[in-house]
Amino acid sequence: MLYWVRNDLRVHDNPALTMAYRQGCRDAIFLGCKKQWNQHHLSPIKQDFIYRHLIVLATKLADLGVRFHFVEVEDFSGQQHWLMNWQDERRQQQQSAEVFANNEVELNEQQRDQHLIARGLTLSLFEADVIVPKGQVVTAAGEMYRVFTPFKRAWIKAVMHHSFECLANPEADQATQNKVDNQQAIEQLQACRNNLDKSSSDWPDAKMVMSEQLGDWLEDNVLDYGKQRDFPAKAATSKLSPCLSIGAISPRLLMRLLLQRHPMVMEQPESSAFCWLNELIWREFYRHLLHAYPNLIKGENFNRQYDAIAWRNDPEEFSRWCQGKTGYPLVDAAMRQLNQTGWMHNRLRMVVASFLTKDLLIDWRWGEQYFMEQLIDGDFAANNGGWQWAASTGCDAQPYFRIFNPITQSQKFDPNGEFIRKYVPELADIPERHIHFPHQYLIDKSCENLYESAMVDHKHARERTLAAYKACR
């Protein structure tokens, strides 16, 4: 028997590991496929984060008497080849060849698993990445909701009426109390980290998050979340997304801990705690959506009427956006935060996505890919859902005529320019009243070369975009 480690880098609430362990499985494997990761635009910082958590996982599995193996293959085909060879060897030795794994929602991963099953691999799959199993929150007609709010109501009803299971950590019994040595695999993983050009060391691992930060967040900080979450200069968000994106923290555990501290949260939609829960439900919505519409991973617009949008797709403008040199301070600060840290505040993700798709009229797929190439918390379902929401091409997306004004967004959510000054240091000495769009001030001071000129006039760009979208309707 074999536990196949995938996007579930944890011991707690891990159904595949728990079931495998109960049945006597004492071997786990991670089949690394760097070529496939690169094809899927997995960022170097997220790769490093994965390796770090694999090291932690290997150590925890050693305490359970589980041997951890790390094998590098090229891609998903290489994973299939290795597993089929392993199965043949096991059967020749008349040993169990069952493989336990947690499901993955993305299309290529689904096709890989289906191919393995079709070839005869005994692959037992479990649900571990959502609170309510995908496919169980549907309309009366049995279809996936196309609007978030009714999905949310049905999702809450499912949690309240049917509850959910959060599994405890496997416990070593008397027969398996002796540790095993997983040092060789740990050294292999560390070597992989050493070959990357970006480190995730500034981000705490899941063990530290759960032991030192999560309790305080759920007990106290979440109470200010509703009022403070949109201000990027404030430390007002949980920053749990990196751990969620690699399965290092279970969403069911988060839900259980939230309910322990705020048992009435689902009946208090105006509360700050519910505001944070709402973000977890959005995460569920996009994963359920991808389960129902797997072709979203092929870059399709959910709303196909916008397939004919005449994107401008100017490479030079896209490059300036990527570098944070648009001439709009909040946009530039956000992009520089992404490039420097591998993360971006959620409000700013909406602002920069609106700017790319609506001000520059550049295809949302360009931005979606760039985000995946940079983000430590890159998650296809959430990233695709967010970009299609901003571009008005997605499921329950913002209306096409809703176009964020980057100056008013800056004035509203970074009123003192604190965030801008941190990431656009050339504007550090600009007076507060000019910080959000400093160009006339710089001209008056004869220092216009201090900062990039504005790429576009927002009013003109808005009119151009409205015309492009109306032409498709």
Domain membership of residue 418 (yes or no) is yes
Active site amino acids? 279, 282, 311, 346, 364, 387
Domain membership of residue 444 (yes or no) is yes
- Give 322-363 pLDDT, tens digit per residue: 999 999 999 999 999 999 999 999 999 999 999 999 999 999
Q: What is the pLDDT of residue 448?
A: 87
Pairing of strands 123-126, 2-5: unpaired
Q: What is the pLDDT of residue 164?
A: 87
Q: What is the pLDDT of residue 176?
A: 54
- Give 154-170 pLDDT, tens digit per residue: 999 999 988 888 999 99
Does residue 238 have a known ligand-binding role? Answer: yes
Does residue 241 have a known ligand-binding role? Answer: yes
Does residue 240 have a known ligand-binding role? Answer: yes
Q: Which residue has the higher pLDDT, 425 or 177?
A: 425
Mean pLDDT, rounded, for 138-153: 96
Q: What is the pLDDT of residue 173?
A: 66
Q: Is the pLDDT of residue 246 over 70?
A: yes
Q: How confident is the model at residue 86 (pLDDT cuts 50, 70, 90)?
A: very high
Does residue 377 have a known ligand-binding role? Answer: yes
CA distance 180 to 69: 12
Domain membership of residue 298 (yes or no) is no
Does residue 46 have a known ligand-binding role? Answer: no
Q: What percent of the chain has pLDDT over 70?
A: 99
Domain membership of residue 107 (yes or no) is no
CA distance 457 to 463: 10
Does residue 215 have a known ligand-binding role? Answer: no
CA distance 463 to 458: 9
Domain membership of residue 336 (yes or no) is yes
Mean pLDDT, rounded, for 251-259: 96
Least confident of 90-94, 138-142, 466-470: 90-94
Q: Is the pLDDT of residue 175 over 90?
A: no
Q: What is the pLDDT of residue 174?
A: 53
User: How far is residue 30 CA from its own chain's centroid?
Assistant: 21
Q: Give the chain's mean pLDDT.
A: 95
Q: What are phi and psi of 101, to 5 degrees?
A: -155, 155
Least confident of 1-10, 39-48, 158-167: 158-167
Q: What is the pLDDT of residue 177?
A: 59
Q: How confident is the model at residue 122 (pLDDT cuts 50, 70, 90)?
A: very high
Domain extent for 414 = 304-470
Does residue 280 have a known ligand-binding role? Answer: yes
Q: Is the pLDDT of residue 401 over 80?
A: yes
Domain membership of residue 363 (yes or no) is yes
Domain membership of residue 450 (yes or no) is yes
Does residue 321 have a known ligand-binding role? Answer: no
Does residue 378 have a known ligand-binding role? Answer: yes
Mean pLDDT, rounded, for 351-376: 98
Positive/negative CA dihedral, 405, 408, 410, 414: negative
Mean pLDDT, rounded, for 110-127: 97
Total count of domains within the chain:
1
Does residue 426 have a known ligand-binding role? Answer: no
Does residue 225 have a known ligand-binding role? Answer: yes
Mean pLDDT, rounded, for 397-413: 96
Q: What is the pLDDT of residue 95?
A: 86
Residue among 394, 366, 371 nearest 241 (CA): 371
- Give 191-228 pLDDT, tens digit per residue: 999 999 999 999 999 999 999 999 999 999 999 999 99
- Give 308-324 pLDDT, tens digit per residue: 999 999 999 999 999 99
Q: What is the pLDDT of residue 127?
A: 96
Domain membership of residue 349 (yes or no) is yes
What's 368's domain CATH number?
Answer: 1.10.579.10
235 Cβ neighbours under 8 A, 6+ residues apart? none
